[in-house]
Amino acid sequence: MNMSASIEEKADVVVIGAGIVGLACAWAALRDGARVTIVDRDFEGDRASHGNAGGIAVTESMPLAVHGMFTKAAKWLMDPLGPLALDWKHVPKALPWFMAFRRASEPERYQAISHALALLNNRVYDDLLPMFADIGASSMHYREGALTVYETDEAFAADQAEWMLKRELGVRWHAMNAQQVRECEPALASVFKHGVYLDDWSQVGDPRRIVTLLRERVRALGARFVTGVARAIEAPDAVVLADGMRVVGRRIVVATGAWSAALAQSIGDRVLLESERGYNTTLPKHGIKLTREVIFAERKFVASPLDVGLRIGGAAEFAGLDAPPNYRRSDALLALGKRFIPGIDDTDARKWMGHRPATPDSLPVIGASPRVPSVIYAFGHGHLGLTQSATTAALVADVLAGRMPRVPITPYSIARF
The radius of gyration computed from the CA coordinates of the chain, to the nearest angstrom, equals: 21
Predicted pLDDT of residue 378:
98
Residue from 275, 272, 274, 276 nearest 416 by CA = 272
Predicted pLDDT of residue 48:
80
**Global pTM?**
0.95
Contact 74, 102 (CB under 8 A): no
Q: Please count the other Cβ atoms lying within 10 Å of the Cβ belonging to residue 206.
A: 18
User: In order along the chain (417 residues), what is the average pLDDT of each group of 10 residues?
Assistant: 52 97 98 97 86 94 76 65 81 92 93 97 98 98 98 96 95 98 97 98 97 98 97 95 96 97 98 95 96 96 97 92 93 95 96 95 98 98 97 98 96 97
Element (H, E) at 282: strand 274-283
Exposed/middle/buried for residue 233 (C-beta within 10 Å: 0-12, 13-18, 19+): buried
- β pairing state of 224-227 and 301-306: unpaired
Q: How far apart are CA 132 and CA 20, in angstroms?
A: 12
Q: Write down the architecture of domain 1-65+104-140+203-273+359-417 according to CATH.
A: 3-Layer(bba) Sandwich (3.50)
Exposed/middle/buried for residue 291 (C-beta within 10 Å: 0-12, 13-18, 19+): middle
Single-letter code of the amino acid located at 264: A
Residue from 377, 399, 381 nearest 233 by CA = 377
Predicted pLDDT of residue 69:
63
